[in-house]
Amino acid sequence: MSYSLETIRHSAAHLMAAAVQELFPDAKFDIGPSTDDGFYYDFDMTHRLTPDDLKVIEKAMQKLCNQKLPFVQSELSRTEAQTLLSSKNQTYKLERLADIADGSKITFYQCGNFSDLCRGPHVEHTGQIGAFKLLSIAGSYFRGNEQNPMLQRIYGTAFASKEELHNYLQQIEEAKKRDHRKLGKELDLFSFSENVGPGLVLWHPKGAFIRNTFESFWREEHYKNGYDMLYTPHIGRSDLWQTSGHLDFYKDAMYSPMNIDETDYFVKPMNCPFHIEIYKSNLRSYRELPLRWAELGTVYRYEKSGVLHGLLRVRGFTQDDAHIICTPEQIEDEIAEVLRFSLSVWHAFGFTDIKPYLATRPEKAVGEPERWEKALVSLERAVEKCGLKCEVDEGGGAFYGPKIDLKVKDAIGREWQTSTIQFDFNLPERFDMTYIGEDGKKHRPFMVHRALFGSIERFFGILVEHYAGAFPLWLAPVQGRVMPITERQHEFAREVYAELRAKGLRVELDDRSASVGGKIKDARNDRIPYMLIIGEREVETRTVAVRNRNEGQVGEMSLTEVAEKMRFEVDNKTC
């Protein structure tokens, strides 16, 4: 009999709880579900768990495993269950019990000396939990509510076989190798400084080069696709943020205002109000619509200290923002176009596995129901038109409008939430945006916020991990390194360097008196795409021995040939 991963993991969670009960008899238990890649269990006890405890608990688990203890189900009445849990002082479990609706079955699973309120199912006996490993300790609020006490959580994972567990652990290792924080340091791309402040990115020359290159690409693509670019200030009067509603809803997450001429100015947490002000700077006719206005707008948000994470969550970031303002008749085509555009941009970076998620109207929402309906239909049709299938997150939209989010899979299969296309029925009302229709009357336009990358910082972090630091040639800050073998080749090497530079290729010259092997090792560490090695033979024939990051040694080539090969890769944005 084989069991699903969920069952195995859920059973592993029980097994872990059994071991914890044995080692720490005062432990109170909450819940221990399986997750996408493992399981966890939450405990409350006086002992503070340390990483060393994980090994001890694992050992105890292994012992229980070897005993092949059966999981025995029993059904209890509510009163019986209450009595049982009360006698063990399991206060969290009692609360969980109270959640179970009247009339539903109340079941317990016994495994060795550990009995747990649980719906099941489980494996037959502990010997069937193939392979497991405890991974980390964390804190977590009871019921995920920050008002509640914090419990201690142990994360682990389990698989049917040792081999699968091994593969999973290897994948974690692979992800660690690609960590953009590690590579960012190694490749000298960016840093943070305590003197500047947490979550504020310092872009080093190489990182800035990559950013600048894909930003240029972003701008070109936007102009090609009918967008106009805007620039707006970094601060604005408090009145503006009062009108937009930000001060009512997000004041705590905004940087404190600076008082100038007796007026408070806030650093912008969003670009929208500025774009709207530009819209309102003129009386607008339906003939001008749709307007597609984009800006790489840098915003600041006071994110809670505990959530900051490398480039993926920062306090100062640049949104690749755009607002589409159009008539209700135009909205469907506009959305389809945004989606198509987003996909094409992701493809350029080698992301091909993209899934849309549609979020619909939540309980509390602004905007007329017909507008929501029309918006939803246009989102659905756009997804269809692009030949995609979306998952629906019922009631998951923002209070101000429905949205589509895109999740893209990177080179090692991890999903990242990136692009977002959001309707906004709130700001057009608040700012009283109008246009004059064919009928000569004022109408309320549709407004859509959209970001392809989400934020430049986050996108950059994802890119680093996706490429594992080996940026494709069109993005690589250094595309090639000229490496003379001895000093006798320095003169020709300088010639090669100058000529390739003149051809617009970003090459460096490594004229250190190191061995070829040493130079190659360094170039590999720096993820240099092309190594151009020059010895006596190459000087004689006026060629370079080409070694490519991916292909290895590709042989001797003339400068023209190398330049063409590289140019081809750049032009095609080969990933």
Partner RNA sequence: GCCAAUGUAGCUCAGUCGGUAGAGCAAUUCACUCGUAAUGAAUAGGUCAACGGUUCGAUUCCGUUCAUUGGCUCCA
134 versus 289: smaller Cβ distance to RNA: 134
DSSP 32: -
- 319 annotated active-site: yes
Among 123, 359, 533, 566, binds RNA (CB under 7 A): 533
Q: What letter represents residue 295's amino acid? A: E
Per CB under 7 A, contacts with RNA among 496-515 are 513-515
Q: What whole-number distance in Å separates Cα of residue 348 and Cα of residue 356?
A: 18
- 403 annotated active-site: yes
Which two three-digit tokens encode residue 490?
A: 């320095």
Q: What whole-number distance in Å separates Cα of residue 178 and Cα of residue 343?
A: 24
Of the candidates 268, 449, 458, 466, the residue annotated as catalytic is: 449
Only one of the segments 75-83, 160-168, 250-258, 278-286 lies at the binding site for RNA (rule: CB under 7 A); that segment is 250-258
Task: Map tokens 């992800």 to a residue.
Answer: 175
What is the contact mask toward RNA in residues 385 to 424, using x (rule: CB under 7 A)? -------------x-----------------------x--
Contacts with RNA by CB under 7 A: the residue count is 63
Among 47, 59, 63, 537, binds RNA (CB under 7 A): 537
- 410 annotated active-site: no
Collapsed DSSP state (helix, strand, coil) of residue 493:
helix
DSSP 113: T
C-alpha pair distances (Å), 401 with each of 113, 268, 272, 413, 438: 52, 22, 15, 30, 26
3 versus 497: smaller Cβ distance to RNA: 497
Q: Is residue 538 involved in binding RNA (CB under 7 A)? A: yes
What is the contact mask toward RNA in residues 182 to 221, using x (rule: CB under 7 A)? ---x------x-x--xxx----------------------
Sign of the torsion formed by the C-alpha atoms of 177, 178, 179 and 180: positive
> What's the closest the beta carbon of residue 305 comes to RNA, in angstroms?
3
DSSP 27: -
Of the candidates 111, 118, 272, 575, the residue annotated as catalytic is: 272
> What's the closest the beta carbon of residue 35 comes to RNA, in angstroms?
8
Which two three-digit tokens encode residue 384?
A: 């269809």
Q: Is residue 535 involved in binding RNA (CB under 7 A)? A: yes
Task: Map tokens 């819940």 to a residue.
Answer: 31
Per CB under 7 A, contacts with RNA among 331-350 are none
Which two three-digit tokens encode residue 227?
A: 């967008």
C-alpha pair distances (Å), 179 with each of 137, 191, 200: 21, 14, 18
Q: Is residue 33 involved in binding RNA (CB under 7 A)? A: no
Q: What whole-number distance in Å separates Cα of residue 259 and Cα of residue 114?
A: 62
> What's the closest the beta carbon of residue 465 comes to RNA, in angstroms?
12
Collapsed DSSP state (helix, strand, coil) of residue 223:
helix
Rg over alpha carbons for the chain, rounded to the nearest Å, is 29
Question: H/E element holding 389?
Answer: none
> What's the closest the beta carbon of residue 396 comes to RNA, in angstroms?
10
- 211 annotated active-site: no
Per CB under 7 A, contacts with RNA among 121-150 are 136-141, 144-146, 150
Q: What whole-number distance in Å separates Cα of residue 148 and Cα of residue 6?
A: 28
What are the residue numbers of the active site? 272, 301, 319, 321, 323, 403, 449
List of residues contacting RNA (CB under 7 A): 48, 50, 136-141, 144-146, 150, 152-153, 181, 185, 192, 194, 197-199, 246, 249-250, 253-254, 269-270, 301, 303-310, 313, 398, 422, 449, 485-488, 513-518, 520-521, 524, 531, 533, 535-538, 545, 547, 553
